[in-house]
Amino acid sequence: MKTLFTILSLFVFLAGFAQTKISGKVIDGKGKAVPGTNVFLLDTYDGTSSDADGSFQFSTAEVGKKMLVATFVGYKDFQQEITLGNKVIEVSITLEETINELEAVTITAGSFTAGDASRRTVLKAVDIATTAGATADISGALNTLPGTQKVGETGRLFVRGGDSNETRTFIDGMVVLDAYSTSAPNTPSRGRFLPFMFKGTSFSTGGYSAEYGQALSSALVLESKDKAESTRTDIGILSVGGDVAHTQAWDRGSVAAKIQYTNIRPYFGFIGQEIDWKTPPASMEGVGVFRQQVGKDGLFKFYGNFNHSNFSLYNHSINDFNVKYLYELTNNYGYLNGFYENVLNEKWNVRGGLSYTSIQNDAWVESDNIQETEKGIHAKTVFEGSLSDKIELKTGAEIIQRSYTQNFDLRTGSDYALGFDELIASGFAEADVYTSNKFVTRVGARLEYNNLIHKVSVDPRISLAYKTGASSQVSLAYGKFRQSAKNDLVRVNHHLASEQAEHFILNYQLVENDRTFRIETFYKRYNHLVKYGNGNPLELNNAGEGYAKGVELFWRDNRSIKNADYWVSYSYLDTERDYLNFPHKAIPTFASAHNFSFVYKHFVQRMKSQLGFTYSYTTGRPYNDPNMERFNGGKTPYYSDLSMNIAYLPKPYLIFYFSCTNLLGRDNIFGYEYSPIPDAAGVYNSRAIRQAAPRFVFVGIFITLSKNKSVNQLPSL
């Protein structure tokens, strides 16, 4: 036993002797100490946290070769093999930064992102929905951001000197061929998609990613929500109609359906209108949404939207009010979008989709019938992944096939039809190279083949961003963009080349303590714009060109005033173009030099209400007066509008909503229409293009029925 005891005590003695002391200092790439770093031996308890000056020290009884590890959030794990046995080991540890979402610089030139996923976005998803004057219309809310022009009679987005068709909408990466509801001429249309559907919005005013194409000015990229969180029924009773929606949620998926009926007639009965309606607009809409999580990380989304709308009105002759023409329009719209995404492996994701759009417009002008049909299919696949921890790559391919026909059924004269089929096949690749968390370069290219004109094109896109301080950065973007000419032009000449634009953008942004400051300047060069040869609309060519340049400012403050959030945006635009029927380069009628918006939102706890105001001001827009020598020589008076909205929540599941545009009652004039024939004195008479009504008042009651009584529709208002 004595031998045993000796052996045992020898073990203990030896064990005691074999303590190794490990010490050193932890610093980052710049030599700064990193306190709180976890320094330890892999698979043991032995370790410690580094001190305020980065130094650390701990003892271990382990022997042999062990892995020394150092970890701290925001840095790559440090690993070094050490051999234990000596009494003291000194290790100096330098931690390498990871490219992490919160610290990394982002490319901001020409883009506004709203969403909760990225925490440093300038706008939140709920902002799109709660801006006064927007009445839950996405374009309406985006119109308060810099880079947009207020063209009130259309309700569409005009970006930086570009026409409204130069902005394209994408849902989950899939193109939406007609993002606006149909409207009577000179009356505003609304977006077809409601803000509540989306978890993220990325609105670019130029220089957008190589993933998107066929948009000369801007891409509005909407990301639909994933699985709904709870089962609920939503009822909306509105001054212009009503809707009912039901969402059923289960563990890994959800399905939702919504029916909406809108009829403006009762509303028009109360409030006088400028337009002589025969049948005010009415529409019936059905929406279905299905989401299902597949496998471990996959997601399948399906969205369907059907809309039937109809209206008729009398167009009065400018020269003689008693002469009037009946105009009637019926629109049937269908949109189906299927989307799939999944994780392929640790480094790569795949996503893809298939969408189908069908648009049918049936118009009557007195006894002449014009039927317009557009059908489109879009198929797309994108692979996204990391080539290394500093390089991210995105690459994909897509096909967009469109068929357009227009049938003219005329009372006098022969019937005829025009149309075309266009197939565009494209591929793109884009890489984000992070030199560090402070500097990123994005390089991409987009290849397109258009079978109508048998042309292959390659367009480059480059942008970079540099972090100048902890919360500020500078960003630069350049890109070439192309877009097929509008349908009504291509149907006349199938061989029209794509219109092109080149963007140069420079931006500085500072986001700190819930305040954002942003200044951006841009230069756009347009060429191959479609022009009427010899002033003849049936003789089209691509000889047109133009430019747009300007400066924009944006200031947002979420903190100075308690419970309040406001932003101010100002855009200066200098643009001229020579296109369509222009005799030479001139300022287009949709462009105003100065655009100013002020948006204010306040949550009043005591009144359980959210109050919002929006004030918009723009300088006059040009219009063409045939009585004047100079083309587009007229200038409208300035535009000024103050709108407000109130959302009152007496109970968590009940919301009363009221909004009113143009509180000051200003008679805003957007332009002038001129009679095509001069009167007896040789003067062309005119009529002002005004707002459809002095004010638009909207009242709504929103009820949400669900097991969780605190769920309501506020986020979607």
Partner 1 sequence: MKTLNIIPILIGALLLLVHSLLANDERYMEAMQKNIQAVYTASSMEDLQNSVNTLERIAAAEKTKWEPYYYASFGYIMMANREQEGGKKDIYLDQAIAAIEKAKAINANESEIVALEGFAHMIRVTVDPATRGPQYAGLAMQTFGKASTLNPENPRALALLAQMQYGTAKFFGSPTTEACGTLITALEKFDTYKSENPLSPQWGREMALGLKKECN
Q: How far is the CB of 200 from partner 1 (least distance, A)?
A: 13
Cα distances (Å, whole numbers) of residue 156 to 189, 262, 615: 7, 20, 18
Find the farthest-apart pair of alpha carbons in the chain and give their distance in angstroms, rounded: 134
Q: How far apart are CA 318 and CA 653, in angstroms?
A: 51
DSSP, residue by residue, 455-487: EEEEEEEEEEEEE-SSSEEEEEEEEEEEEPPPH
Q: What is the b/e burial string over 76-99, where b = at least 16 CB atoms within 10 angstroms of the residue's CB?
A: eebeeebebeeeebebebebebbb
Q: CA 117 from chain center: how many Å?
A: 14
Residue 114 or 530 with smaller CB distance to partner 1: 114
Min dist. Cβ of residue 716 to partner 1 (A): 9
Are 113 and 202 within 8 A, CB to CB? Answer: yes
Q: Closer to partner 1 by CB, 125 or 264: give it.
A: 125
User: Residue 7 or 344: which CB sits closer to partner 1?
Assistant: 7
CB of 72 to partner 1, least distance (A): 9
Smaller CB separation from partner 1, 115 or 419: 115
- What are the residues whose beta carbons fall under 8 Å from the beta carbon of 379, sequence distance 6 or more? 352, 353, 354, 398, 399
* Residue with Cβ nearer partner 1 (279 or 513): 513
In whole angstroms, the minimum distance from the beta carbon of 7 to partner 1 comes to: 6
d(CA 105, CA 537): 48
Interaction site with partner 1 (CB under 8 A): 1, 3-4, 7-8, 11, 35-36, 38, 40, 42-49, 52, 71, 73-74, 102, 116, 119, 124-126, 229-230, 603, 605, 608, 649, 651-652, 708, 710-711, 714-715
Between 79 and 279, name the residue whose CB sits nearer to partner 1.
Answer: 79
Shortest Cβ distance from residue 711 to partner 1 (Å)? 6
CA distances from 160 to 157, 217, 478, 530 (A): 10, 7, 15, 19
Q: Which is nearer to partner 1, 183 or 704 (CB)?
A: 704
Number of H helices, E strands in the chain: 5, 40
Minimum distance of partner 1 from residue 45's CB (angstroms): 6
CB 209 within 8 A of CB 199: no
For residues 670 and 643, give the distance between their C-alpha atoms in angstroms, rounded to a whole number. Answer: 18
CB 123, min distance to partner 1, A:
10
H/E stretch holding 545: strand 540-557
d(CA 623, CA 610): 39
Q: Which is nearer to partner 1, 19 or 581 (CB)?
A: 19
Q: Give the nearest distance from C-beta 249 to partner 1 in angstroms.
A: 10
- CA distances for 22 relative to 183, 562, 670, 704, angstroms: 76, 52, 77, 62
Token pair listed for 1: 């036993």
Q: How far is the CB of 598 from partner 1 (least distance, A)?
A: 20
| 8 Å CB contact between 432 and 392 | yes
Q: How far is the CB of 346 from partner 1 (least distance, A)?
A: 15
Residue with smaller CB distance to partner 1, 97 or 574: 97
Task: Give CA 631 to chain center in angstroms.
Answer: 35
Rounded Cα distance, 272 and 696, in Å: 10
The distance of closest approach from Cβ of residue 131 to partner 1 in the complex, given in angstroms and rounded to an integer, is: 14
Q: Closest approach of Cβ 100 to partner 1, in Å?
A: 9
Q: Is 55 helix (H, G, I), strand (E, B) or coil?
A: strand
Of the pair 56, 180, the CB lying nearest partner 1 is at: 56
> CB-wise, 454 or 562, nearer to partner 1?
562
Sign of the Cα torsion 112, 115, 117, 120 reads positive
Nearest to 216 by CA among 594, 552, 581, 544: 544
